[in-house]
Amino acid sequence: MSGLAANARVVRALGARSIRQTFRRPQLISPIIVFPTLLLAIQTGGAGAGVELPGFPPVQSFLQFMLAGSMMQSMMLAGNSGGIAFAVDIEMGFTDRLFSAPIPRFAIVLGRLAGTAALGLFAAVWFLAIGLIFGAQIEGGIAGALLAMALITASALAVGGIGAAIALRSGSASVVQGLFPLVLVVLFLSSAFFPENLMVEPARTIAEYNPLSFIVEGVREPIISGIDASDTLAALAAIAGIVVLGLVLSARALRHRLRVG
């Protein structure tokens, strides 16, 4: 078997393990699906009248507008949950056993990230399905839905890289779990839940420069109006930036983990 095929097998096996682990533990799956779905329902019902505010972009409904935000929330929490599960593996010595196995170290991290990306895809499909069931239209059609799913999957991979880096560096599940509030802060300070121009200062200015806002708009445009090349490119650039950051942090954290054991 070629080296590449063997590595792909390792990544696939670890990715599948990570997905099974998430679905078996309520404390891992619930932040990804239950909380964002609950918040989607509450925010749509509670702040839905906001579409009547002057300056709100033309949308079919507030649910249609909110789908991108819920997908982002779910994706970010999938990255966080992936980091927690990775840290638990480190605490329990499972990762040490993998490090001593004849497999490349990057495949161990990539396996975890593959699982996180698959959960991101699951979240995108889940929220698009909820949107369609409750009457939201996907203006970009099938191509628009596929684009939104692809962007969320890539974002999960990128954010998962940062979660994995923190897990490798700290080796502590409680440290990674402590990032949960930070995830919410970053989300609230983006245009995930309301149009940037209608947010209150200083949230509005921060949201303008928050990379997550670019990703949200890239995911939202195909849903509320159709595919827009400039929004898609901006989203891809933001994702690429987070991927690079995650790679650098993960590589450094992996070196640190191998050094300290």
Closer of 27 and 230 to another protein (Cβ): 27
Distance CA 60, CA 51 (A): 9
- Least distance in angstroms from the C-beta of 68 to another protein: 14
* Residue 143 near residue 103 (C-beta atoms within 8 A): no
Count of CB atoms within 10 A of residue 118's CB? Answer: 19
Closer of 50 and 104 to another protein (Cβ): 50
Dihedral (Cα; 84, 185, 122, 13), 10-degree rounding: -20
- Least distance in angstroms from the C-beta of 155 to another protein: 20
Distance CA 153, CA 149 (A): 6
Closer of 65 and 140 to another protein (Cβ): 65
- Least distance in angstroms from the C-beta of 27 to another protein: 6
- Least distance in angstroms from the C-beta of 125 to another protein: 21
Q: What tokens appear for 229 in the block?
A: 């090349």
Closer of 54 and 261 to another protein (Cβ): 54
* Residue 72 near residue 216 (C-beta atoms within 8 A): yes
Count of all residues that appear for the chain in the document:
261
Q: What tokens appear for 168 in the block?
A: 């490798």
Closer of 37 and 153 to another protein (Cβ): 37
Closer of 104 and 178 to another protein (Cβ): 178
- Least distance in angstroms from the C-beta of 99 to another protein: 29
| Residues at the site binding another protein, with contacts judged by CB under 8 A | 25-27, 30-31, 34-35, 38, 42-50, 52-53, 62, 178, 180-181, 184-185, 187-189, 193-194, 198-200, 202-204
Helices and strands in the chain: count of H runs, count of E runs: 12, 0
* Residue 255 near residue 174 (C-beta atoms within 8 A): no
- Give the distance between the most distant pair of CA atoms in the chain: 62
- Least distance in angstroms from the C-beta of 1 to another protein: 39
